[in-house]
Amino acid sequence: MLERDNSLYVVDIFIACDKISRYTKRFNNAQDFLYSELEWDATIRELEIIGEATNSLLKSNAVDAKYRRIVDFRNQIIHGYFGVDENIVWDIVTKKLDLYLYDLRSLSINLSDAIELAKIENSKNKNILSLLNNLEKMSKENN
């Protein structure tokens, strides 16, 4: 199996977080969010992606071991251990993801090539392209 560059995983996480933000913006609480089937399911899928990408970053020591909790949560979602608590998901999407993104921005990983690849892959998605353009600007300012 070919090894992916860490920058691709970081961009995957930014894209997944952006999608989650868009999916959840109209909700004010966990219960309403849970009962909105489409947004709930889509958010759970993006949390799985974040967990998988984080697992790869952990394996390469690109992120701190404290983020193992993200991978553990992904495993709970995937394997359905005791169900998924909507209040925990709500806390993650409304508070914890922003903190994770903040930490990811401080990594010394060049995202330029990964952003360009993501732009090609998402060339028809204006929401993701907007995110990628903003991420590119932010990345250039940090370098």
The residues assigned a catalytic role are: 74, 79
Helix, strand, or coil here: 86?
helix
Residue 108 has φ and ψ, to the nearest 5°, of -90, 65
Q: How would DSSP label each residue in 85-101?
A: -HHHHHHIIIIIHHHHH
Place of tokens 């404290």: 66
Residue 123 has φ and ψ, to the nearest 5°, of -60, -20
